[in-house]
Each structure stands twice: as C-alpha cells, then as structure tokens.
Amino acid sequence: MSMFDQQQGAPTVVIAMGGHAFIQPGERGTPDEQSANARHICEQIMTLVERGYNLVITHGNGPQVGTLMRLNELAGAPVPPPPLDMLVAQTEGSLGYMLQRALLNELRIRGIERFVVTVVTQVVVDRHDPAFDKPTKPVGRFLNETEAKQRRDDYGWIIKEDPQRGWRRVVPSPRPKKVIQRDMIREAAQASHIVVAAGGGGIPVVKSESGDHVGIEGVIDKDLTSAVLATDVEAELLIILTAVDRVFVNFGTPEQRALGAVTMSECERLIAEDHFPAGSMGPKVEAIHGFLKRGGRRGLITSADKLLAALDGAAGTHFVGRL
Amino acid sequence: MSMFDQQQGAPTVVIAMGGHAFIQPGERGTPDEQSANARHICEQIMTLVERGYNLVITHGNGPQVGTLMRLNELAGAPVPPPPLDMLVAQTEGSLGYMLQRALLNELRIRGIERFVVTVVTQVVVDRHDPAFDKPTKPVGRFLNETEAKQRRDDYGWIIKEDPQRGWRRVVPSPRPKKVIQRDMIREAAQASHIVVAAGGGGIPVVKSESGDHVGIEGVIDKDLTSAVLATDVEAELLIILTAVDRVFVNFGTPEQRALGAVTMSECERLIAEDHFPAGSMGPKVEAIHGFLKRGGRRGLITSADKLLAALDGAAGTHFVGRL
C-alpha cells in the first residue's frame, strides 16, 4: 500500500484539529454527537493512511474542558474542583478514546493493520513565561458580576470582563517548551503506528525548584504544541484543520482574498502586516511558520471537509518551506 | 543496572493497584491527595525498575468514576451524562497522568532514563456475556428510594437495594476478552518503556453487528483485565496491590490464617472451598490463578507498603506457577 521506500521510512504528517471539530453547529456536544464527528474526521484522515504516511494526530479540547468546568461548578463543591492540568488529562483520555476507536474501526473496514495508540502527553512550559503575569486565555462559561466576584474571592480566579457578554475566567497560556513524550511519539510514528498525542495542547507542567515536574493551572495553545511536536517527530507536513477552507488576508474588507499558496517570506510579511487575528488564525499561521523555520517542508490549513481536495492541491492554504 | 542479559530480554512484571490506592483512609480524594499517594506508590515501584524488570502498571478507578458520576448527577442535566466507557476513558487520562508524572519524577531523582507512556486502552467484551443479563457491579453513590425510582424511570438504570444502606445503580461487569492495544503494550514494555495501561480494567467495547467496536455501559474487573494483559505481554510475574499485606483463609474466624506461598493446586482447592469473597479477594485470586494457568510463573498479592519486603520473600502471598 505504501508509496514510499520502506528502508527510507515513510514521511510523517502531524494533523491538528480543534476541540470544536467534535461539535457541529447546532449540536449540544453529547458523547454520541462527538463520537460521530470524530468518526467523520477519521474517515477523511484515512486518505493519509492509504497514501502511506506515518501519522500523528493532535486535538484541542476547549469545549470539552469547558463542559468539565461547568459540571464542577454546577455540582457545587462536594469534591474540590480539579486543577486545569487534571481536566486536560481527562479530555486526553476521553477524546483520545473517541479518536482511536474511530480510527481502528475505519482501519478495519479497509483491511489495514496498523497500531493506534493514544499517548497521554505532558508538555513543559517555562515557569518564568510572561503569560503567568498576564493571563489571557478565557476558559469556562460566561459569569454574571456576582458570580465573577464570588469566584475571584473563593478560588482566586482572575476574571476579565468581556463587553456585552459578561465576565469570564482567564488563565495563562504559556508557550510549549518541550513535549516530554516526544521520543516515544516519534518512535511509535516512525514504526508506522498511528499516534494520538498532545490533546488540548498537552498537560501543562513546569519544572519546580526541586526538579520535579508539577502540574499548573493553564492551557497551552494546541497549534503551537502541534508545531513543536511536528519538529520533534521530524514531520514533513503539518496540517491544521479548522472551520474555514482557506486562510484569508484583509478578512472582512472588500479586498478580502483567500490564500492558495504562500512562501516563507510571504508568510512573514503577512504576519507583520497583522492579517491574522490573535484569537483565531494568528496562532495557526504562527505555528506553521515556526515549523517551517525549524526545517519543516510543508504546512496546510484547511477544513476537514476539504482535506482530500487540499491533499491534491485543489483546496486549502499551502505553506511552502525548504525543499 | 540490569541484572538480566540484554539479548535475552528482561522479564516483564505487571503490577495492578486499586483506584482506592490513590485515596488514604480519612482523605477526601482531592487531586493533591491522589497525586501524593500516586507518588508514594511509584516510589515503591522504583525497586522493580532498579532490579531491571520491564514494567506494565494497571490501576482501578472505582472512586474516581464514582466522583465523575456524582458530579454529573449533582450538576443536573445541562449536558447529558456521559456513558461509562467515556468516564473510564476520562480516568485513564487523569490517573495515567498522575502515575506517569510521578514515575518520571522518581526516575529523574535516580538518574534513570526510561520512557514512560500511558496507553489509553480499549478492552473487548463479549456482547453475549451473561453479565449483561444480570448486572451486579454497584457504581456511584447510594440513593434514597425516591432518587432510585427517578433514575430508573429517567435513565433506565437498573437499581438494587443494599439493605441498611439504600439503593444503588448496578451495571454489568463482563469478562475481558481481548485488550485491543496488547501488541503495542507488549512491544513498548519489551523495549523497556514503563507502560501505564488498562486503567479501570480498560474502556469496555463490544463488537457490534456492523463489525465496529462500540462503547458499552459497563465496567470490567481491573484484576481480571490485568491478568489477561499479563499473559499478552508475556509477563513472568503478576503483582496485585491491595489494602492487606497477605491473603487470608478462614477470614474472620478463629482458624484465620495468612497465606505465605501457595501452589496452583492449593490455590484451586482454596477457591473451591470458597475462602475468597466475591467482592474483594475473590477476583484477585481468580485473576492470578488464570494467569498461572495460562503459563505465568509467579503471582503476588500484597500491599504497597509491603511490596519491597514481599519482593525479598519476607511478606505478601506468593502464588507459584510453572518453572
């Protein structure tokens, strides 16, 4: 089945999807709905398997962690609410399970024998990361003013006002420094196992003064972690799946234009010109740019539905690195 | 450090601990408490690493799944309560993270370089398993009569009365047939990676008529799964950690006697004489007996605190299989 010389080793692709990919517009995000959406995406991903690539799959977990936080909050405090590192770990288990089950079912239908493994992944961040002084990442639901004050007083949460929509907890989003399980993930991928890893951007830990790794209350951007991991596993291609088929410049203006292919230097110019908003396309483009700068060959941003067309060059925004 | 010929490969040990091992008597089971207890157990387990064994660690999740169920229940129904396979998957993530973090920290202190990997594990059960007709495993908290009836009507739960203590949901506990990730786990263990796997007895799935594996509402006994996995990974030794240092016969009578070492045939006689209660020591002895019958060499039941002494033959109940 493989189009690549076995001795040379097949190229590895890292493919990242958002936590929202498991919930379609209008859905409540029930386990059945999330499983069905995971299945649909894994069906698309099979094209990469059939074309002989090694595969590392990463995913976000925003809505899923939000649900867990909401549960803990609504339940009152019969048990103390788990810190964010634990919640991320929980979603690595549940979303990893959904993905690996779907992947195994799709492989069986095609008669392909590959191991599928979900690796619970810790990611080290720098405890002096400036993000700790200035938490920016909103998590959980919107609160009213009374709730916001209460949580600030009771739990020490940092709360920010979001005009018109209410108050919301914000947490630090430090940059990923090192994926602890990177060697294991690379070896597994290069042995042609399909690896699900770094869910939710990875479980954030810092090195304490004792030298121990300890969990922290924060979340790591999953696209940035995926890019770091793509370099770690010597991937040729980093694919970021998102809600839109292509990346736009001058978005929302008459000059709006979809990008087909961009070189490294064009990419740098567009970043400098501030075309990509911080909360959405910015980290994705930055992640792919970082991957290419560290030697990655290709990047792709597209939607799950356009993945097949994009692999044939007929859709998506392609980022071109070194030859 | 290894006492074994590298070419021949080090022997593999499977070590199983209960979900209660993460919560000491008198504790509420906060994340900090559970992490500290995980750390203490991993410190003991380091002896096995230092003696050169390959290691697969399994764990239960009873209290942790109970907490998640309680949370969902107390929260009302803003989101539908996840089925048990999803809750097991969540605890594989969170407890796996606690264990792997503790293991990595202990390895670092000792200057030992080994990969540690938590594998999200699906376990196939037979959809015609008699357990589905007769659910017996209590899960979640005790309910009063009104709550019990409500849940029976609203969710279709099967509820049993527990004299004096109230009503409780019971779910099927089918036997483990196949650990889907077994080959991956064996390869990783034999490559001397420390593997955390089959948490909570594994995420239960059945083969549907379409051939797909689908999740089910049930829980698999973690000792039985650990024993099946021990055979899969060609382990020489299966250790089951529990609250007591040794296994007793005639427990609670004047003839009570702690067992030091038992042969296969003694073990069979004691099982036949009904010395081991179904809800506690029974599955553990049965699990080890099954492992020895399938060719395993040694079994050990003891407490985490006596593990070191037991490894030197000075504590625990030892089960002796083939030479």
pLDDT tens, position by position, B292-320: 999 999 999 999 999 999 999 999 999 99
A120 DSSP 8-state letter: P
The answer to whether B323 faces chain A, any CB pair under 8 Å, is no
pLDDT of A3 reads 43
Q: Is A176 helix (H, G, I), strand (E, B) or coil?
A: strand
The answer to whether B133 and B97 have CB atoms below 8 angstroms apart is no
Q: Do A120 and B91 touch (CB under 8 A)?
A: no
Domain that holds residue A151: 135-171
Mutual angle of helices B182-190 and B222-232, in 10-degree steps: 60
pLDDT of B7 reads 43
Taking one residue from A and the other from B, the number of pairs with CB-CB distance under 8 angstroms is 154
In this complex, the residue of A35, A91, A100 whose CB is nearest that of residue B93 is A91
Q: Is the pLDDT of residue B6 over 50?
A: no
Mean pLDDT to the nearest integer, A227-253 = 95
Measured CA to CA, the distance from residue A59 to residue A37 in angstroms comes to: 13
pLDDT of A5 reads 44
In this complex, the residue of A98, A117, A215 whose CB is nearest that of residue B181 is A117
As for the ipTM of the complex, it is 0.93
Q: Do A105 and B205 touch (CB under 8 A)?
A: no
pLDDT of B4 reads 43
- Sheet containing strand B176-179, edge to edge, reads B176-179, B122-125, B203-207, B213-215
> Is the domain of B152 the same as that of B56?
no
Boundary (domain end) residue, out of B218, B241, B264: B241
Boundary (domain end) residue, out of A211, A241, A271: A241
Flag the least confident range among A78-87, A305-314, B259-268: A78-87
Please tell me which residue of chain B has the smallest CA distance to A39. Answer: B212
Q: Is A134 helix (H, G, I), strand (E, B) or coil?
A: coil
Mean pLDDT to the nearest integer, A217-243 = 97
pLDDT of B5 reads 44
pLDDT of B79 reads 55
pLDDT of A77 reads 58
The answer to whether B233 and B226 have CB atoms below 8 angstroms apart is no
Say which amino acid occupies A36: A
Burial A240-261 (b: 16+ CB within 10 A, else e): bbbebbbbbbebeeeeeeebee
Given 3-state DSSP classes, what are the helix, strand and coil percentages for chain A, each rounded to the nearest 5? 40, 25, 35
> Is the domain of A305 the same as that of A207?
no
> Is the domain of B208 the same as that of B293?
no
Measured CA to CA, the distance from residue B122 to residue B223 in angstroms comes to: 15
Say which amino acid occupies A89: A
To probe the interface with B, which of A94, A193, A217, A232 has the most B CB atoms within 10 Å? A94
To probe the interface with A, which of B71, B104, B182 has the most A CB atoms within 10 Å? B71
Measured CA to CA, the distance from residue A204 to residue A320 in angstroms comes to: 30
Q: Do B213 and A89 touch (CB under 8 A)?
A: no
> Is the domain of A252 the same as that of A208?
no
- Sheet containing strand A166-171, edge to edge, reads A137-143, A166-171, A158-162
Q: What is the DSSP string of B193-238?
A: -EEEE-GGG-EEEEE-TTS-EEE-S----HHHHHHHHHHHTT-SEE
Please tell me which residue of chain A has the smallest CA distance to B92. Answer: A93
> Is the domain of A59 the same as that of A207?
yes
The answer to whether A181 faces chain B, any CB pair under 8 Å, is yes
The answer to whether B184 faces chain A, any CB pair under 8 Å, is yes
Please tell me which residue of chain B has the smallest CA distance to A212. Answer: B105
Q: For residue B266, name the pLDDT band (cuts at 50, 70, 90).
A: very high
> Is the domain of A185 the same as that of A57?
yes
The answer to whether B82 faces chain A, any CB pair under 8 Å, is yes
> Is the domain of B78 the same as that of B224?
yes
> Is the domain of A78 the same as that of A191?
yes
The answer to whether B211 faces chain A, any CB pair under 8 Å, is yes
Q: Which residues, other chains included, contact B8 with Cβ-Cβ below 8 Å and sequence gap of 6+?
A: none
Place of tokens 């196949």: B178
The answer to whether B36 faces chain A, any CB pair under 8 Å, is no
Q: How far is A258 from chain B (nearest CA, A)?
A: 37
pLDDT of A280 reads 84
- CA-only gyration radius of chain B, Å: 20
The answer to whether A317 and A249 have CB atoms below 8 angstroms apart is no
The answer to whether B13 and B56 have CB atoms below 8 angstroms apart is yes
Place of tokens 């050169």: B52
| CA-closest candidate to residue A80, choices B100, B84, B101, B34 | B34
In this complex, the residue of A94, A180, A183 whose CB is nearest that of residue B90 is A94
User: Which B positions 90-129 lie with beta carbon below 8 A of chain A?
Assistant: 90-94, 96-98, 100-101, 104-105, 108-109, 115-120, 122
In this complex, the residue of A79, A116, A180 whose CB is nearest that of residue B104 is A180
> Is the domain of B28 the same as that of B157?
no
Q: Is the pLDDT of residue B1 over 50?
A: no
To probe the interface with A, which of B35, B57, B72, B94 has the most A CB atoms within 10 Å? B94
Per-chain mean pLDDT for chain A? 92
Q: How far is B238 from chain A (nearest CA, A)?
A: 24
Provide the percentage of residues in chain B whose pLDDT is more than 70. 96
Provide the percentage of residues in chain A whose pLDDT is more than 70. 96
Q: Is the pLDDT of residue A63 over 70?
A: yes
Domain count, chain B: 3
Tokens for A215?
């969990």
| CA-closest candidate to residue A124, choices A187, A195, A190, A218 | A218
Which residues on A lie below 8 Å from B184 (Cβ)? 115, 117, 188, 193
The answer to whether B180 and B121 have CB atoms below 8 angstroms apart is yes
> Is the domain of A151 the same as that of A269?
no
pLDDT of A80 reads 57
In this complex, the residue of B74, B79, B118 whose CB is nearest that of residue A120 is B118
Cβ neighbours around A133 below 10 Å, total: 8
> Is the domain of B196 the same as that of B278?
no
Whole-Å CA distances, A67 to A38, A79, A129, B15, B234: 18, 17, 27, 34, 41
Digit-coded pLDDT (tens) for A64-78: 998 888 888 777 655
- Give the CA angle between residues B40, B42, B48 to the nearest 5°: 130
Measured CA to CA, the distance from residue A240 to residue A234 in angstroms comes to: 16
Please tell me which residue of chain B has the smallest CA distance to A101. Answer: B213
Q: For residue B8, name the pLDDT band (cuts at 50, 70, 90).
A: low
To probe the interface with B, which of A28, A90, A116 has the most B CB atoms within 10 Å? A90
In this complex, the residue of A83, A92, A205 whose CB is nearest that of residue B93 is A92
> Is the domain of B189 the same as that of B100?
yes
At B69, which CATH number?
A: 3.40.1160.10
Mean pLDDT to the nearest integer, B236-247 = 96
Q: Do B115 and A184 touch (CB under 8 A)?
A: yes
Measured CA to CA, the distance from residue B96 to residue B102 in angstroms comes to: 10
Digit-coded pLDDT (tens) for B123-143: 999 999 999 999 999 888 888
Measured CA to CA, the distance from residue A137 to residue A131 in angstroms comes to: 9
Alpha helices for chain A (secondary structure H)? 31-50, 62-74, 84-110, 145-155, 182-190, 222-232, 264-272, 281-293, 307-311
Digit-coded pLDDT (tens) for A78-135: 555 789 999 999 999 999 999 999 999 999 999 999 999 999 999 999 999 999 999 9
